Amino acid sequence: MQRTEPQNYLIQGIDPIQLTEQFGSPLYVYDGGTIRRKVAELLHAFAGINMKIKYACKANTNLAVLKLMREIGVELDVVSPGELEMGKLAGYNASQITFTPSGVPFEEVREAVETGAIVNVDSLPLLEWFGQTYGNTKPCLIRIKPNVAAGGNIKIMTAHADSKFGISVLLLDQILEVVKKYDIKIIGLHQHTGSDIKDAEPFLKVADILFETAKHFPHLEIIDLGGGFKVSYLPGDAITDMDLLGEKISERFKTFCKEYGRELQLWFEPGKFLVSESGYLLVKTTVVKEDPARNFVHVDSGLNHLIRPMMYGSYHHILNLSNPDGALKSYNVVGYICETDTFASDRELPEVRKDDILAFLNAGAYGFTMSSNYNARLRPAEVLIDNGQARLVRRRETLEDLLQTQLGM
């Protein structure tokens, strides 16, 4: 499968440079066509079983993206009351939303349950509280920590023994004791292994652990295998072969359902897989500095807008939209934040000149949602291109937005 790249640097026939002229720079642009294609890919891979997609919306919570997901039949996984509220604003029923907290105040869980969302219980103390509070009147899922290490790097693994997430599978006896004590209605088992997982093997391994654990819970309706499918970052990059993964997991799931004695639903919670490749961060070059050690390209953005390279060393392919046929030269592409703020080191790019427009690829997931106002910088606008139309779906921030909460004058 090929990495997506705007063909001749057009997105659905729209010239990204023209978008920066219209809406300014820097600018986040999302291609709705890519989102639709990724959803279709996942549905196709699991066509033979009862599978539901719960988009892990921390990847991108623009309301227009959430609405698009809802329109194409994708439900939601949220990790905070704020995300839950955004889901409802996008038109979701609370019953279509799963709340997967990580050690949050129990009041947040109460709010979610009372609004009608389903909760993934992630600790024994929360399970105890859930039982005390609701007895058998409200269903929930349990987030199991299977003690499997998988994912792109240690910072984005979430299921190894040292991870903070979920209840260790080794504590099964204690889980069962609490469930029995309060007669808690456990309708599903959940786990999320980590991010950037390429092969089917880790999914099968944790699936087997959940299937084994499931035998102790007679009222299950759902097995939730989380998210974490790897996407393509580089031309020719190895990515999750969805059809193969779907075939292998579906087969194992069908066998499990037979043994369990009932047809269950299989849930996935992809974030990155659905939106990463749809997004572009467009920036303008401000200074090209030919230093004796390195050529530096400075841009009108920084880790305040896209923190992934500095936070966990992620790779973002860069296109020089303004000079695609220029002679290749090596650059460090850096941001304007007064910290080490490097988007790319020793990157070959067609010759970069002042005021060129560069596009960072794979900016649709964990881009805008992880952005900040560090250095009193303002966040970019966002544009969604869908059905051949570009639409501004978030205006650029102003200084007033930034000052709104300050009371110290």
Ligand X SMILES: *Cc1c(COP(=O)(O)O)cnc(C)c1O
* Residue ranges that bind ligand X, judged by CB under 6 A: 56, 58-59, 77, 79, 100, 192, 195, 226-228, 269-273, 365
Q: Which of 57, 140, 257, 338 is catalytic?
A: 338
Q: Which is nearer to ligand X, 155 or 258 (CB)?
A: 155
* Cβ count near 239 (within 10 Å): 17
Minimum distance from CB of 135 to ligand X (Å)?
Answer: 26
Q: Which is nearer to ligand X, 102 or 342 (CB)?
A: 102
374 labeled part of a ligand binding site: no
Instruction: Say how many CA atoms lie within 13 Å of 295 toward its Cβ.
Output: 16
280 labeled part of a ligand binding site: no
Q: Which is nearer to ligand X, 77 or 382 (CB)?
A: 77
Interacting residues of 356 by C-beta distance below 8 A, sequence separation 6+: 284, 285, 320, 321, 322, 323
Is 338 noted as a catalytic residue in this protein? yes
Minimum distance from CB of 389 to ligand X (Å)?
Answer: 27
Sign of torsion, CA 344 350 355 360? negative
Minimum distance from CB of 39 to ligand X (Å)?
Answer: 13
DSSP helix/strand/coil, 210: helix
Q: For residues 118 and 146, is the Cβ–Cβ distance under 8 A?
A: no
Q: Which is nearer to ligand X, 150 or 179 (CB)?
A: 150
Minimum distance from CB of 356 to ligand X (Å)?
Answer: 31
Token pair recorded at residue 305:
């807008």
DSSP state, residue 341:
-
How many angstroms separate the CA atoms of 288 and 281, rounded?
A: 19
DSSP state, residue 137:
S
228 labeled part of a ligand binding site: yes
Phi, psi of 333 (to 5 degrees): -100, 120
312 labeled part of a ligand binding site: yes
Instruction: Say how many CA atoms lie within 13 Å of 172 toward its Cβ.
Output: 13
Element (H, E) at 145: strand 139-145
Token pair recorded at residue 255:
């066998």
DSSP state, residue 229:
B
Phi, psi of 216 (to 5 degrees): -85, -5
Minimum distance from CB of 144 to ligand X (Å)?
Answer: 12
Residue with tokens 């303002």: 378
Minimum distance from CB of 228 to ligand X (Å)?
Answer: 4
Q: Which is nearer to ligand X, 273 or 360 (CB)?
A: 273
Q: Which is nearer to ligand X, 198 or 305 (CB)?
A: 198
**Residue of 203, 84, 177, 81 lying closest to 124 (CA atoms):** 177
367 labeled part of a ligand binding site: no
| Catalytic (active-site) positions | 338
Binding residues for pyridoxal 5'-phosphate: 228, 366
Q: Which residues make up each annotated binding site for substrate? A: 308, 312, 339, 366
Q: List, as residue ranges, the binding site.
A: 228, 308, 312, 339, 366
